[in-house]
């Protein structure tokens, strides 16, 4: 997935903001979701600058779904102990963002779902390498419409959003 990770994190943040009993500030919750949804791809820096593009960056530990599942499980356990802790809530939001990234990458990209225990990649759909440069094959594949749909949805939610608790005026305007 190329362009939809940050918008998908935004949609996740808007969804989680609807949950009751969330003591985390809405903006902090949104930041945690968007950061979690995008941070796995920071490994592209290592891919290009250090690894010399020798290893598929989805094979790095930052793209191991079992890592994100483990972190989410730890966050849930943390919430079980400290239910109203904003840090525990932020940790869970961040790891859910990371898990969302893994799911979206699995749509048309190879993801090593059982790494580091089993060396096999899984993808829901595959994109044939038809065009040059390589990324053109992804952009011209039908699956890119799903990315655009996520981006358009996030844009519409942003434009037509209701003001959060932090943005609501504290007193009604005078007549």
Least CB distance from residue 111 to Zn ion, whole Å?
A: 8
Q: Of 31 and 37, which has the nearer Cβ to Zn ion?
A: 37
Q: Which ranges of the chain would DSSP assign to H, the alpha helix?
A: 5-16, 26-38, 43-49, 65-81, 86-108, 134-139, 144-159
One residue of 105, 108, 115, 127 binding Zn ion per CB under 5 A: 105
The count of C-alpha atoms lying within 13 angstroms of the C-alpha of 74, restricted to the half-sphere facing its C-beta, is: 10
Cα dist. 58→69, 148, 151 in Å?
A: 16, 22, 23
Point out which residues pair with 122 in neighbouring strands.
Answer: 111
Measured CA to CA, the distance from residue 132 to residue 57 in angstroms comes to 20
By CB under 5 A, tell whether 41 contacts Zn ion: yes
Q: Of 22 and 123, which has the nearer Cβ to Zn ion?
A: 123
Ranges within 1-40 binding Zn ion (CB under 5 A): 40
Measured CA to CA, the distance from residue 173 to residue 162 in angstroms comes to 17
Q: Of 41 and 147, which has the nearer Cβ to Zn ion?
A: 41
Q: Of 57 and 88, which has the nearer Cβ to Zn ion?
A: 57
Q: Of 37 and 93, which has the nearer Cβ to Zn ion?
A: 37
Least CB distance from residue 136 to Zn ion, whole Å?
A: 19
Least CB distance from residue 132 to Zn ion, whole Å?
A: 22
* Contacting range for Zn ion; rule: CB under 5 A; set: 74-82, 99-107, 120-128, 138-146: 99-107
Least CB distance from residue 110 to Zn ion, whole Å?
A: 11
* Contacting range for Zn ion; rule: CB under 5 A; set: 66-74, 102-110, 111-119, 133-141: 102-110
Buried-state track 6-36, b at ≥16 Cβ within 10 A, e below 16? bbbbbbbbbebbeeeeeebebeebbbbbbbb
Residues that bind Zn ion (CB under 5 A): 40-41, 105
């Amino acid at each position: 997935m190329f362009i939809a990770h940050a918008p998908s994190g935004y949609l996740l943040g808007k969804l989680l903001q609807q949950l009751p009993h969330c003591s985390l500030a809405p903006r902090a919750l949104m930041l945690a979701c968007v950061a979690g949804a995008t941070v796995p791809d920071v490994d592209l820096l290592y891919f290009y600058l250090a690894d010399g593009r020798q290893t598929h960056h989805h094979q790095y530990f930052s793209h191991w779904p079992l890592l994100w599942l483990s972190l989410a499980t730890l966050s849930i356990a943390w919430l079980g102990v400290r239910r109203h802790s904003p840090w525990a809530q932020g940790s869970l939001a961040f790891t859910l963002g990371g898990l969302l990234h893994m799911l979206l990458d699995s749509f048309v990209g190879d993801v090593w779902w059982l790494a580091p225990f089993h060396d096999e990649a899984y993808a829901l759909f595959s994109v044939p390498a038809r065009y040059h440069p390589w990324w053109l094959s992804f952009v011209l594949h039908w699956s890119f419409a799903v990315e655009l749909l996520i981006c358009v949805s996030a844009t519409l939610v942003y434009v037509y959003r209701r003001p959060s608790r932090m943005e609501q005026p504290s007193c009604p305007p005078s007549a």
